[in-house]
Amino acid sequence: MFSTVPRSLLCCTNAIGPNRALAYVLSKCPALEPTSVLCREYHEVTGNIICPNVVRGIDHLRDPRLNKGLAFTLEERQALGIHGLLAAKFKTQEEQLDICRISIDRYEDNLNKYLYLVELQDRNEKLFFRLLAENIEKYLPIVYTPTVGLACQRFGLIYRRPRGLFITINDKGHIFNILKNWPEPDVRAIVFTDGERILGLGDLGAYGMGIPVGKLSLYTALAGIKPHQCLPITLDVGTDNQDLLEDPLYIGLRQRRVRGKEYDEFIDEFMEACVQRYGQNTLLQFEDFALPNAGRLLKKYRNKYCTFNDDIQGTASVAVAGLMAAVRVTKRKLSENIYLFLGAGSAANGIANLTVSAMVAEGLSERQARERVYMFDVDGLLSTRREGGVPEHAKVFGKDIEPEKDFEACVAKIKPSCLIGCSTVGGAFTTNVLKQMAKNTERPVIFALSNPTSKAECTAQDAYDHTEGRCIFASGSPFPPVNFNGKEFRPGQGNNSYIFPGVALGVIATATHHISENMFLTAARTLANYVSEDDLSIGRIYPSLAEVKEVSVAIAIEVAKTAYDEGLVSIYPTPTDLSQHMRSYLYNFCYECQLPDMFPWPECSKVSYKNAKGRHFPCHI
Ligand SMILES: NC(=O)C1=CN([C@@H]2O[C@H](COP(=O)(O)OP(=O)(O)OC[C@H]3O[C@@H](n4cnc5c(N)ncnc54)[C@H](OP(=O)(O)O)[C@@H]3O)[C@@H](O)[C@H]2O)C=CC1
Ligand SMILES: CC(=O)C(=O)O
Ligand SMILES: [Mg+2]
């Protein structure tokens, strides 16, 4: 029997179509082993040539995973039955990339650029990923924050072709069957959301699908994880966004969110179905769940599944990396800072907890480290004396101090050296707040991490302007370079996209079955080590985005080492060369020859194929 049937083993025939022909051959020869035998047998039966692993004819061009457009060679065009379906000109992938760049530049509106890229991904996957991977700085803001936020808000309008799975609460009891409808059997990573906290834009329900799709594009573009191993999913349990419930374009369930027991059972079933379908080691990334569920579900599942919450753990890692790199400028150890968070939700708590771990590594006790961390949420400073007390999810950061509802006053009173915004409140770092930070310390650290750009707590320009150019700034969404007193600053992007692709690569490539907290501290250290003096001199506490692919591999290697040290992997023996092992996993962004290499008639000319017995088969030209 076939033990390793290729993913899309189809045969070519002009007579009855590839699927039916293959089914026919298989039914006749169920015990066939090597594919080449199948080819020969099939040829004996039908007189047609089978191209294993190859969809022929127009279907080949319509498959984005196979399509190369005008880059198909004459031999490929002939062998694949697409000769004549393409214009005569042959183009290299490089020439095609130029055309893509020109095409995108024609659009002024970023949403149109986004749509162009979506369409490219649907048409020619390798071209899309190579374009993205080679132009990260230019196109990351389109496929990711900020434009992806706009795309989610308009998802009902721009939704065209299926990408990923929508699983609704009505599918409860049948989730495994829905997963079976996904055409790829070799999924290694699933990024999923229930759409309740999409960036800082709130509850976007099923419109949130843009986020798992965008995140998984970065799995491939930034870490070389193969696209067919990635599955984006939206869990549609309704929405409490009244505008969407009334939006005629809305594509999700038009009902209020299901919560409580039924929601929990639904998520339980989903988690179980994923591992049942794709195996124990399937990486399950929670993305953009709202505060009441994010931390709670992480706690519930973190020791039972190969899972992490990107908004809590990935964000923590990138922020701590930034803090570590900033030490080289401020000359203050992490344990010498005072931290004030605006926002006390998932991201803030994730960052605060990992910062505490980093301070403990510097020698503080956990209690001493926590004493250096303050938080301020919608009801003011997290004071144990305030009305209603400190919310459960941030209990450990509550302080026995006078309550304070005025943020500016709080910054003056607590005198933080690091101010970290994860509040979803655009402009919350006012001129006075920033000026106060400049008074608090010589080199204040200011992170405006909320996304998209409209939700950033301050702009890069404001941060430098109001701190006399002395601050160390990073933001979740990109800002253009800033000029202050004749000096140009190019602040970095404190975004979890520096972390999750590398962590995922490390986990997938070693079949790690559990993702430990330590891995995120390791990832943070690795990222911080990549920051050069040149980066710091232009105000950047992250490596340039052009280096992110290399950084992702480095993170993957370090994460894998941690996983081996902690006994969390399923691949033994430990590869002697982890770097080589990791690199062997990477996606090839360049076109590959699609002449069937398992073809039993390897000798190929422009006019005919010669089989092993020396018989010629004419090409259809
Ligand atoms: N740069 C990056 O890599 C990442 C950035 N983010 C961004 O961080 C932001 C927050 O995400 P997340 O933590 O998951 O969201 P949460 O909803 O979990 O947390 C938001 C927090 O902000 C508080 N808040 C809301 N309004 C105010 C206000 N007016 N003043 C003070 N605090 C306020 C909330 O308080 P309350 O609960 O009381 O309402 C809550 O504590 C988002 O914009 C997200 O895009 C998130 C992950 C990664
Ligand atoms: C970056 C990210 O994960 C967020 O803003 O939610
Ligand atoms: Mg997120």
Point out the least confidently predicted range of 53-62, 321-330, 440-449, 494-503: 53-62
Atom of ligand 1 nearest to the CA of 318: 3
Question: Would the CB of 462 count as within 6 Å of ligand 2?
Answer: no
Q: What sign for the dihedral angle of Cα 53, 54, 59, 65? A: positive
Nearest ligand to the C-alpha atom of residue 350:
1
Query: Cα 23 to the chain's mean position, in Å?
Result: 37
Q: What CA–CA distances, in Å, run from 317 to 65, 192, 345, 349, 369?
A: 33, 20, 16, 12, 17
* pLDDT for the residue numbered 564: 96
Residues 6+ apart with CB under 8 A from 443: 326, 329, 330, 332, 470, 471, 472
Higher per-residue confidence, 35 vs 555: 555
475 neighbors 447 (Cβ within 8 angstroms): yes
Catalytic residue among 42, 139, 144, 542: 144
Residue 125 marked as a ligand binder: no
Atom of ligand 2 nearest to the CA of 198: 6
Point out the least confidently predicted range of 55-69, 90-104, 289-303, 439-453: 55-69
Residue 337 marked as a ligand binder: no
**Closest Cα to atom 33 of ligand 1:** 378
* pLDDT for the residue numbered 600: 39
**Which of 310, 351, 457, 503 to mutate to test ligand 2, by most ligand atoms within 8 A of the CB atom?**
310
Q: What is the 3-state secondary structure (H, E, C) of 514-532?
A: CCCHHHHHHHHHHHHHCCC
Please provide the distance, in angstroms rounded to a whole number, between the alpha carbons at the two ends of the chain. 36
**Which of 311, 317, 457 to mutate to test ligand 2, by most ligand atoms within 8 A of the CB atom?**
311
Query: How far apart are the C-alpha atoms of 508 and 523, rounded to whole Å?
Result: 15
Query: How far apart are the C-alpha atoms of 111 and 158, rounded to whole Å?
Result: 9
Q: Quick check: 53 pLDDT over 90?
A: no
Q: Quick check: 601 pLDDT over 80?
A: no
Higher per-residue confidence, 201 vs 11: 201
300 is catalytic: no
* pLDDT for the residue numbered 614: 55
Tell me the residue type at 499.
Answer: I
Question: Would the CB of 453 count as within 6 Å of ligand 2?
Answer: no
Mean pLDDT of 56-76: 95
Higher per-residue confidence, 187 vs 160: 187
* pLDDT for the residue numbered 572: 86
Distance 570 CA to ligand 2 centre (A): 30
**Closest Cα to atom 14 of ligand 1:** 346
Nearest ligand to the C-alpha atom of residue 144:
2
340 phi, psi to nearest 5 deg: -125, 125
Which residues on adjacent β-strands are paired with residue 489? 482
Higher per-residue confidence, 610 vs 188: 188
Question: Is ipTM > 0.90 here?
Answer: yes
Question: Would the CB of 427 count as within 6 Å of ligand 1?
Answer: no
Token pair recorded at residue 577: 């060369």
116 is catalytic: no
Atom of ligand 1 nearest to the CA of 377: 32
Distance 312 CA to ligand 3 centre (A): 9
Q: Quick check: 266 pLDDT over 50?
A: yes
What tens digit of pLDDT does each residue of 343-374 get? 999 999 999 999 999 999 999 999 999 999 99
Residue 67 marked as a ligand binder: no
Catalytic residue among 215, 226, 455, 549: 215
* pLDDT for the residue numbered 192: 98
Question: Would the CB of 375 count as within 6 Å of ligand 1?
Answer: no
Closest CA to 336 of 323, 351, 349: 323
DSSP conformational letter for 247: -
Mean pLDDT of 225-253: 98
Atom of ligand 1 nearest to the CA of 477: 1
- Is residue 108 very low, low, confident or very high in pLDDT (cuts 50, 70, 90)? very high
Mean pLDDT of 584-595: 94
Distance 476 CA to ligand 2 centre (A): 8
Closest CA to 589 of 232, 122, 229, 226: 226
Question: Would the CB of 548 count as within 6 Å of ligand 2?
Answer: no
Query: How far apart are the C-alpha atoms of 535 and 526, rounded to whole Å?
Result: 15
Query: How far apart are the C-alpha atoms of 186 and 35, rounded to whole Å?
Result: 20
* pLDDT for the residue numbered 45: 46
What tens digit of pLDDT does each residue of 176-198 get? 999 999 999 999 999 999 999 99
Question: Would the CB of 199 count as within 6 Å of ligand 2?
Answer: yes
Q: Quick check: 4 pLDDT over 70?
A: no
Q: Quick check: 157 pLDDT over 70?
A: yes
Higher per-residue confidence, 394 vs 39: 394
Q: Quick check: 512 pLDDT over 50?
A: yes
Tell me the residue type at 58.
Answer: I
Query: How far apart are the C-alpha atoms of 217 and 211, rounded to whole Å?
Result: 10
String of b and e for 24-40 (b: at least 16 CB within 10 Å)? bbbeeeeebeebbebbb
In DSSP notation, 277-328 reads: HH-TT-EEEE-S--HHHHHHHHHHHTTTSSEEEIIIIIHHHHHHHHHHHHHH
Question: Would the CB of 382 count as within 6 Å of ligand 1?
Answer: no
- Is residue 597 very low, low, confident or very high in pLDDT (cuts 50, 70, 90)? low
Nearest ligand to the C-alpha atom of residue 197:
1
Mean pLDDT of 9-19: 38
Q: Quick check: 102 pLDDT over 90?
A: yes
Q: Quick check: 49 pLDDT over 70?
A: no
615 phi, psi to nearest 5 deg: -80, 140
Nearest ligand to the C-alpha atom of residue 145:
2
Token pair recorded at residue 392: 């459960």
Which residues on adjacent β-strands are paired with residue 168? 236
Place of tokens 């080289």: 328
- The reported pTM is 0.90
Question: Would the CB of 338 count as within 6 Å of ligand 1?
Answer: no
Residue 377 marked as a ligand binder: no
Q: Quick check: 145 pLDDT over 70?
A: yes
* pLDDT for the residue numbered 596: 66
Residue percentage of the chain with pLDDT more than 90: 85
**Closest Cα to atom 29 of ligand 1:** 378
Atom of ligand 1 nearest to the CA of 476: 1
**Which of 378, 392, 453 to mutate to test ligand 1, by most ligand atoms within 8 A of the CB atom?**
378
* pLDDT for the residue numbered 54: 62
* pLDDT for the residue numbered 594: 87
* pLDDT for the residue numbered 56: 83
Residue 353 marked as a ligand binder: no
* pLDDT for the residue numbered 607: 41
Which residues on adjacent β-strands are paired with residue 189? 230, 283
Q: What CA–CA distances, in Å, run from 51 to 31, 45, 602?
A: 19, 15, 11
What tens digit of pLDDT does each residue of 479-492 get? 999 999 999 999 99
- Is residue 621 very low, low, confident or very high in pLDDT (cuts 50, 70, 90)? very low
What tens digit of pLDDT does each residue of 395-408 get? 999 999 999 999 99
* pLDDT for the residue numbered 602: 38
**Which of 309, 411, 424, 498 to mutate to test ligand 1, by most ligand atoms within 8 A of the CB atom?**
424
Place of tokens 């973190």: 302
Which residues on adjacent β-strands are paired with residue 487? 484
Q: Quick check: 615 pLDDT over 80?
A: no
Residue 287 marked as a ligand binder: yes
Question: Would the CB of 451 count as within 6 Å of ligand 2?
Answer: yes
* pLDDT for the residue numbered 595: 81
Query: How many CA atoms are closer than 13 Å to the CA of 404, on its beta-carbon side?
Result: 19
